[in-house]
């Protein structure tokens, strides 16, 4: 598998830059996992995929966030996880934090706004995620315990 | 109460900045309605019948006087403001809700980002007060002060607040998700009616844990939550809730709005749901990268708990050695001071002491309810001036702290018993001293069809008519403790399912009708285990409702035993039938249906 772990690349980058790649809606992908399919059903095949597309049939349907998180944290999938379907710029922070590293934005969406959507909360969030696995209370600094 | 540090403060300001960016794109035509809706909802901004509605979070009901003054300022300067689109529409009010939030009904969307900035300056926000995400955590309004408290729930509420705030995986669930936490013998947070209801307990070894219920809820299909764990060690709470919400996010129904709450999944799957949660919980801890990172540590619990130590200037007041003597002394002092103020005071004051003053875990202290249930104002409403006055009372008598109660009142949690006479006078002058807490007129009611776009019927005029009908305090006292809950539609924001008397607004042929139910319970000691009330027959016309309530109450008074049997006890003993007959006898407009 040639792609570096997105987890590692993000940690090395110190979260200063996000590693999300913009791709065209019709760009080829090794496998598309249906929005209502179980990640567990493809666990045995993951080693054969360099990229997996997850689907947002409607942007407010959040199932693919759980799928991405499971692919990364439980099955250690290190290839590309791409957001497809109705992908809006304001989803970017959630996508980045649940393990996506590629997005095919809906045709009318602006990359500039997508970048800007990632500029908020530079100090991170309370709970751990796929960018910073530790919750605030286990990180260094005044809140560590 | 919880003290924001720099991180927390920066965080809510970032949220306000992010929302301003989204709002500006929306107002500039770059973010269409459909795409903006979920974003504004997750910041508390609805678009209602006539105007936007802003729902501001009061996490687990704790509010400082400074924060309440900011809410007053927003009511005064933004709610129906002069020169704005909603001028003259009756703005200038805040409405406190059963979920301990504060709502405004007449703020222009164009002002929304400015309002969020003002809130951020006092450590407040509207994060996740709406939308299909984990909502504001609610709790007991007497948390940390209740005499019957086993474990103070506030530190755990705050830990849950932080964990659920902008959780990236759980922002777009099938439907909204509500968590309530209680830590007392008495459940004052209606935990069994929530998507997750947590009750803090100590085991025989003195260790702290949670009883965990899942799948309670009202709406079209009222269901009491199922206990899935009797005693979950507190350290595991975040991981266990992560497991529950993940199972729900993956398998909850998204094809039908009315079947998308977790209660439907729990009911449909039964033990299989519980097994899935337990398997997910085990998988997180055993298989996931950093899966155990969200197990809570003593250090974190202690760091948060330190915020909830006694407020400055508050300490047990010891008068003599024997607790009974202490209480008697405090009461005697209070009575002496009261009777010195005016000759007519004692009777009214005594009634206020009985109804609005509550026992406290700290010697020499009381918790006091400021009633937001009075003639001429909708239940739970407070004007800008009233909010300022309540803030003044908190500064003078309660360490600058208040609570919002599930019953839509305000509470002063840290009142010295010796200050009660002075507080009573001041609260009376400010219109907060109606001694009706727990009585029929201390009703729960949603804003209803006057303001809410979802409502089928109005709640406020029904509440007003009943309040007018039962304005005699002696009569209210004679009727005694009773829960009257009014919802303007089946979404059940007014919790009609759990009222001893429940009133539900329904729409038939474009007209307002009201279904009356009896015997619901919120899970309190008075009400008994949580249960749904039974509908007593076809709906009534609006003008019949006060007569129906009167007939039901008259039946109770005729049937009760020993003169002191409570309404709910009489109802359970004699059954619904005599109440039903009496209610039907007063039908006029709907007589043909009966």
pLDDT in tens, B290-312: 999 999 999 999 999 999 999 99
DSSP state string for B473-538: HHHHHHH-S--EEEESSTT-TT-GGGSSEEEEEEEETTEEEEEEEE--B-S-TTT-S-BPPEE-SS
Q: Note whether residue A117 is domain-resident.
A: yes
pLDDT attached to residue A11 = 38
DSSP state string for B19-33: HHHHHHHHHTTSS-H
How far apart (Å, rounded) are the C-alpha atoms in residues B492 and B510? 20
What is the token pair recorded at B180?
Answer: 């309530």
Q: What is the mean pLDDT of residues B251-269?
A: 97
Q: Are B579 and B500 in contact (CB under 8 A)?
A: no
pLDDT attached to residue B335 = 63
The partner residues of B200 in beta bridges, in order of sequence, read B210
Q: Note whether residue A143 is domain-resident.
A: no
**Band of pLDDT at residue A4, cut at 50, 70 and 90:** very low
What is the helix (H) or strand (E) element at residue B383, kind and residue range? strand B381-383
How far apart (Å, rounded) are the C-alpha atoms in residues B100 and B106? 20
Q: Note whether residue A24 is domain-resident.
A: yes
pLDDT attached to residue B183 = 98
**Band of pLDDT at residue B322, cut at 50, 70 and 90:** low
CB contact under 8 A, B168 and A126: no
pLDDT in tens, B509-546: 889 999 999 999 999 999 999 999 999 999 999 999 99
Q: What is the mean pLDDT of residues B376-382?
A: 95
Domain with A66 in it: 6-138
**CATH number of this structure's domain B323-429, picked from the four choices 3.30.390.30, 3.40.720.10, 3.90.480.20, 3.40.50.360:** 3.90.480.20
pLDDT attached to residue B301 = 97
Contacts of residue B172, Cβ cutoff 8 Å, sequence gap at least 6: A59, A60, A61, A62, A65, A94, B38, B132, B133
CB contact under 8 A, B289 and A73: yes
- B146-303 and B444-585 have identical folds: yes
Average pLDDT, chain A: 87
What is the helix (H) or strand (E) element at residue B181, kind and residue range? strand B179-182
Q: What total number of domains does chain A contain? A: 1
pLDDT attached to residue B416 = 97
Q: Are A94 and A65 in contact (CB under 8 A)?
A: yes
pLDDT in tens, A11-68: 333 333 457 999 999 999 999 999 999 999 999 999 999 999 999 999 999 999 999 9
Contact list, A66 vs chain B (CB under 8 Å) = 169, 246, 249-250
Q: Are B477 and B487 in contact (CB under 8 A)?
A: no
Q: Which residues of B246-261 are buried (b: 16+ CB within 10 A; e: fewer)?
A: bbbbbbbbbeeeebbb
Question: In the predicted model, is pLDDT for residue A2 greater than 50?
Answer: no
pLDDT in tens, B457-484: 999 999 999 999 999 999 999 999 999 9
Predicted model pTM: 0.93
pLDDT attached to residue B454 = 85
CA distance A50 to chain B (A): 20
| Stronger pLDDT, B81 or B12, i.e. the higher one | B12
**Band of pLDDT at residue B47, cut at 50, 70 and 90:** confident
Q: Note whether residue A53 is domain-resident.
A: yes
**Band of pLDDT at residue B551, cut at 50, 70 and 90:** very high
CB contact under 8 A, A66 and B14: no
* A118-132, B328-342, B368-382: least confidently modelled range: B328-342
| E strand segments, B203-244 | 208-214, 226-233
Contact list, B289 vs chain A (CB under 8 Å) = 7, 72-74, 76, 133
Q: What is the edge-to-edge ordering of all strands in the sheet holding B45-47? A: B45-47, B52-56, B102-104, B93-96, B381-383
Q: What is the mean pLDDT of residues B5-30?
A: 97
- Nearest CB partner across the interface for B249, out of A7, A62, A73: A62
Question: In the predicted model, is pLDDT for residue B324 greater than 80?
Answer: no
Q: What is the DSSP letter of B486?
A: E
DSSP state string for A87-114: --GGGHHHHHHHT--EE---TT--HHHH
| Superfamily name and number for B444-585 | Sulfite Reductase Hemoprotein, domain 1 (3.30.413.10)
3-state DSSP percent of chain A in helix, strand and coil, to 5: 35, 15, 55
**Band of pLDDT at residue A9, cut at 50, 70 and 90:** very low
Single out the residue of A39, A30, A35 nearest to residue A71, CA to CA. A39
Q: Are A33 and A15 in contact (CB under 8 A)?
A: no
Question: In the predicted model, is pLDDT for residue B420 greater than 80?
Answer: yes
In 10 A of CB B312, how many CB atoms? 8
Q: What are the two backbone dihedrals, phi and then psi, of residue B483, each rounded to the nearest 5 degrees?
A: -105, 115
* B140-149, B367-376, B552-561, B582-591: least confidently modelled range: B582-591
pLDDT attached to residue B89 = 85
Closest residue on chain B to A110 (Cα): B30
The partner residues of B182 in beta bridges, in order of sequence, read B199
β B45-47/B501-508 pair status: unpaired
* B45-59, B171-185, B535-549: least confidently modelled range: B45-59
Q: Note whether residue A1 is domain-resident.
A: no
- Nearest CB partner across the interface for A123, out of B10, B35, B297: B10
Question: Looking up tokens 């009201």, which residue turns up?
Answer: B514
Q: What percent of chain A has pLDDT over 70?
A: 84
Name the fold adopted by B146-303. Answer: Sulfite Reductase Hemoprotein; domain 1 (3.30.413)
Q: What is the DSSP letter of B335?
A: H
Q: What is the mean pLDDT of residues B342-369?
A: 89
How far apart (Å, rounded) are the C-alpha atoms in residues B416 and A69? 51
Question: In the predicted model, is pLDDT for residue B326 greater than 70?
Answer: no
Q: ipTM, 2 decimals?
A: 0.92
- A113/B contact by beta carbon, under 8 A: yes
How far apart (Å, rounded) are the C-alpha atoms in residues B522 and B355? 19
CATH 3.30.70 matches B6-121: yes
**3-class DSSP assignment, residue B210:** strand
Q: Are B260 and B254 in contact (CB under 8 A)?
A: yes
Question: In the predicted model, is pLDDT for residue B491 greater than 50?
Answer: yes
Q: How far is CA B310 from CA A140, B298, B414, in A?
A: 28, 20, 9
Average pLDDT, chain B: 94
- The ranges assigned to domains in chain B are 6-121, 146-303, 323-429, 444-585
Q: What percent of chain B has pLDDT over 90?
A: 88
CA distance B9 to chain A (A): 12
């Amino acid at each position: 598998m040639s792609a570096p772990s997105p987890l590692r690349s993000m940690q090395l980058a110190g979260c200063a830059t996000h590693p999300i790649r913009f791709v065209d809606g019709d760009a080829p992908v090794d496998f598309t996992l249906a929005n209502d399919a179980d990640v567990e059903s493809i666990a045995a095949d993951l080693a054969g995929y360099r990229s997996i597309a997850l689907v947002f049939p409607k942007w407010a349907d959040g199932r693919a966030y759980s799928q991405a998180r499971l692919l990364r944290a439980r099955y250690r999938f290190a290839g590309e996880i791409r957001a497809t379907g109705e992908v809006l710029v304001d989803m970017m922070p959630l996508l980045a934090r649940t393990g996506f590293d590629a997005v095919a934005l809906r045709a009318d969406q602006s990359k500039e706004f997508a970048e800007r959507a990632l500029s908020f909360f530079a100090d991170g969030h309370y709970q751990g995620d796929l960018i910073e696995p530790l919750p605030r209370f286990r990180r260094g600094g005044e809140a560590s315990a | 109460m919880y003290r924001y540090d720099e991180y927390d403060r920066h965080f809510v300001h970032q949220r306000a900045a992010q929302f301003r960016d989204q709002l500006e794109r929306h107002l500039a035509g770059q973010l269409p309605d459909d795409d903006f809706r979920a974003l504004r909802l997750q910041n508390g901004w609805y678009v209602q019948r006539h105007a936007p509605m802003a729902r501001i979070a009061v996490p687990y009901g704790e509010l400082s006087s400074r924060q309440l003054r900011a809410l007053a300022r927003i009511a005064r300067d933004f709610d129906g403001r002069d020169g704005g689109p909603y001028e003259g529409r009756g703005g200038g009010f805040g409405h406190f809700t059963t979920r301990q939030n504060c709502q405004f009904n007449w703020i222009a969307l164009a002002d929304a980002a400015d309002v969020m900035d003002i809130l951020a300056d006092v450590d407040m926000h509207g994060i996740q007060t709406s939308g299909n995400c984990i909502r504001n955590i609610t709790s007991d309004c007497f948390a940390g002060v209740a005499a019957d408290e086993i474990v103070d729930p506030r530190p755990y509420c705050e830990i849950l607040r932080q964990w659920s705030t902008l959780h990236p995986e759980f922002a777009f669930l099938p439907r909204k998700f509500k968590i309530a936490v209680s830590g007392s013998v008495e459940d004052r947070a209606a935990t069994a009616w929530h998507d997750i209801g947590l009750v803090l307990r100590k085991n025989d070894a003195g260790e702290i844990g949670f009883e965990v219920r899942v799948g309670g809820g009202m709406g079209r299909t009222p269901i009491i939550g199922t206990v899935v764990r009797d005693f979950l060690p507190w350290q595991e709470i975040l991981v266990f809730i992560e497991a529950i919400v993940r199972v729900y996010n993956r398998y909850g129904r998204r094809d039908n709005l009315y079947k998308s709450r977790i209660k439907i999944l729990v009911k449909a799957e039964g033990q299989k749901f519980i097994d899935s949660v337990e398997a997910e919980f085990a998988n997180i801890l055993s298989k996931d990268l950093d899966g155990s990172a969200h197990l809570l540590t003593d250090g974190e619990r202690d760091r948060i708990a330190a915020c909830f130590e006694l407020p400055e200037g508050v300490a047990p007041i010891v008068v003599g050695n024997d607790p009974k003597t202490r209480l008697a002394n405090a009461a005697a002092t209070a009575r002496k001071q009261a009777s010195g103020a005016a000759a007519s005071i004692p009777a009214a004051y005594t009634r206020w002491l009985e109804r609005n003053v509550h026992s406290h875990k700290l010697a020499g202290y009381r918790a006091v309810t400021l009633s937001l249930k009075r003639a001429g104002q909708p239940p739970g409403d407070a004007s800008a001036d009233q909010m300022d006055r309540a803030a003044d009372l908190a500064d003078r008598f309660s360490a600058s702290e208040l609570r919002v109660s599930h019953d839509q009142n305000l509470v002063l949690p840290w009142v010295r018993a010796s200050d009660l006479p002075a507080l009573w006078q001041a609260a009376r002058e400010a219109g907060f001293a109606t001694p009706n807490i727990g009585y029929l007129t201390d009703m729960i009611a949603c804003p209803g069809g006057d303001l809410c776009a979802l409502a089928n019927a109005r709640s406020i005029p029904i509440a007003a008519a009943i309040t007018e009908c039962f304005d005699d305090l002696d009569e209210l006292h004679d009727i005694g403790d009773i829960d009257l809950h009014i919802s303007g539609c089946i979404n059940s924001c007014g919790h009609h399912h759990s009222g001893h008397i429940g009133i539900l607004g329904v729409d038939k042929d474009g007209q307002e009708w009201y279904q009356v139910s009896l015997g619901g319970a919120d899970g309190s000691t008075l009400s008994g285990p949580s249960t749904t009330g039974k509908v007593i027959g076809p709906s009534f016309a609006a003008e019949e409702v006060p007569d129906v309530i009167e007939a039901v109450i008259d039946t109770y008074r005729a049937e009760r035993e020993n003169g002191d049997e409570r309404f709910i006890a009489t109802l359970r003993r004699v059954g619904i039938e005599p109440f039903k007959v009496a209610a039907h006898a007063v039908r006029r407009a709907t007589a043909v249906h009966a």
